[in-house]
Structure 1
Amino acid sequence: MTTPTLAGWLRCPSCAQPLEPLGELGLGCVNGHRFDVNRRGYVTLLGPREAVVGDSAAMLDARDRFLIGGHYAPISAMIDAVLRDALMPAEGRPERAIDLGCGTGHYLAGVVAQRPASSALAVDLSPAAVARTVRRFRGGSAVEPVVDGLVANTWRPLPIRDGAATLLLNVFAPRNPAEFHRILEPAGALLVVIPRPEHLQELRAAGRVLGIGDDKHSQLVASLDAFFELEESRPVEFVAELTAAQIDDLIGMGPSAHHRSADSTTAAVAVTAAVDVVLFRRRG
């Protein structure tokens, strides 16, 4: 991350004017609004009274352990396959990806690994998540992608420039259709991952994780239809043999962590993972 590359993604949350670098750790607009850049490589652009309630460090630690263990590797592989088959960047024009709900940066890492010349913006409501994702790409290699970080609320107008991205990544995360359309370039791609009804069904039957709404796929397509055209959808389903510790991490890395009973016990079990990897194209 450098302040100029970070500024290149962003617009002022107060007046929507482009943000420009101000020294090593500052951003500002022509109307005099100023913002500090964290030394860990990200900027926080939330509303004046907006509370930060995102993933905790403990949730991110659990997610890191679980994903690094390869337990969701088929999901990552399908994301990579869909994007490899669907995306053909213009000659000499690097891809610009935004991960909206970046978490630990695990899925973003797979996306940019296919495209070494790409740049990316990691967005999350959790400062700990954004800091972790940006740190993930600070290896010092000249061939590594430039990944900047933004703490922002996806439900609100995003402090991101119009048409800033060629690709939006949204994995198990909230969506803002109108804003996603605005920040994506014409004909850009939006990749969404959502759970299928069978996802974690063994844990759900035991009351260990939250329920999944009915017909999420149809609801997703309907919610995006005014702004995005469905291009393809690929299901992924597999069974993972998990230890008690791995199941604890699986429960603890997501929203069910907030509802977990302190005296709940865990045993090793086979758990079904089932998701849809859905690709959309921007309308207009």
Structure 2
Amino acid sequence: MTDLTRLASWLRCPVCELDLEPVDRLTLGCANGHRHDVNKRGYVSLLGGGSKFAGDTAEMLDARDMVLEGGAYAPIATALAAAVAPAAHVLDAGAGTGYYLRAVLAASSGAAGLAMDLSPTAVARAVRSSPDVDGLVADTWRPLPVRSHRADAVLDVFAPRNLPEFHRVLRPGGTLAVVVPRAEHLASLREAGTMLDIPTDKAEDVIASADALYAPLAREHVAYDLALDDTLRLALAGMGPSARHAAASPAEATETTVSVDVLTFTPR
């Protein structure tokens, strides 16, 4: 059963920005009378209409589950948890299936997390995966329906970044953790295949974009070789942006390099 009090404690009304509170068994509401239904699966959608973006499909999430639950990106999750923990309240923006959020919560005793994603299917999976995770369907590019200074940490792993809104929802002294791929990430799958390329200066762009609002804390490079079979190779291609392009496919590689930067910041 969804803990509506805990879920509501994260949220503010997307219409008027007043705090949301439980109204009845499956409804949250604000003092101005706006009401928002909670899905029986334990999450709330505060997306509204008109978003021009689409969340990940069930097929993309299946591929992500195969990669992540199989441990292929476990060193990234370990580095992320070490960079953030301890944190009592963790917002994962673009949470997907909640894999990284669960890793961070496991490193922080008694912590609770909010899995936010544009995909209702992803949020449902994240909520189902842990009793410590609440779920929110929302668009990162819009004002977040999250209370100001509510999060001790915000995670952004291979996801869009709304840096001003992340700054607002972080408490003073909190941590923003951003994971971005380096140019050599999965390079062997791109060399002879048709997967999308990665910009060479992605981390530098994030650091420069964040400078007005955040002070940098650390930058950790996580890199290792990963053996591939056909199933993992196809799942790596199918879990990310390349999956949205019908012609995109990975190269016939037997191993690849995982290479990312884990960037941490604190609000100025």
Structure 1 length as normaliser, TM-score? Answer: 0.90
Q: Quick one: distance in 1 between partners of 2:224 and 2:49? A: 44
Residue of structure 1 in register with 2:173 after alignment = 187
Which of the numbers 108, 115, 120 marks the counterpart of 2:108? 115
2:261 equivalent to 1:276: yes
Indicate if the aligned counterparts of 1:208 and 1:260 stay in contact, CA closer than 8 A: no
Give SS of 2:55's match.
coil
* Farther-moved stretch of structure 1 (74-83 vs 210-219): 74-83
Residue of structure 2 in register with 1:68 after alignment = 69
Residue of structure 2 in register with 1:137 after alignment = 130
C-alpha deviations, 1:50-75, integer Å up to 9, x for none? 35610011111111011111111221
Instruction: Please state how far the C-alpha of 1:207 moved relative to its aligned partner.
Output: 3.0
Alignment of 1:5-24 (within 5 A): 5-24=6-25
Indicate if the aligned counterparts of 1:101 and 1:123 stay in contact, CA closer than 8 A: yes
Instruction: Please state how far the C-alpha of 1:147 moved relative to its aligned partner.
Output: 1.5
1:48 partner amino acid: G
Unaligned residue ranges in structure 1 (runs of 5+): 90-94, 139-145
Q: Quick one: distance in 2 between partners of 1:7 and 1:82? A: 27
Structure 2 length as normaliser, TM-score? Answer: 0.95
1:62 partner amino acid: A
Q: Quick one: distance in 2 between partners of 1:256 and 1:48? A: 26
Alignment of 1:1-40 (within 5 A): 1-40=2-41
Q: Quick one: distance in 2 between partners of 1:232 and 1:50? A: 34
State the percentage of identical aligned residues: 50
Alignment of 1:233-252 (within 5 A): 233-252=219-238
Residue of structure 1 in register with 2:161 after alignment = 175
Residue of structure 2 in register with 1:43 after alignment = 44
1:272 partner amino acid: T
Over the residues paired in the alignment, what is the CA RMSD in angstroms? 1.6
* Runs of 4 or more consecutive aligned structure 1 residues displaced over 6 Å after TM superposition: none
Indicate if the aligned counterparts of 1:243 and 1:267 stay in contact, CA closer than 8 A: no
Q: Quick one: distance in 2 between partners of 1:222 and 1:261? A: 33
Residue of structure 2 in register with 1:142 after alignment = none
Indicate if the aligned counterparts of 1:152 and 1:158 stay in contact, CA closer than 8 A: yes
Residue of structure 1 in register with 2:141 after alignment = 155
Q: Quick one: distance in 1 between partners of 2:174 and 2:58? A: 33
Instruction: Sort the Cα spacing of 1:68 and 1:33 in 2 relative to 1 into closer, same or farther, 3 A.
Output: same
Instruction: Please state how far the C-alpha of 1:266 moved relative to its aligned partner.
Output: 6.0
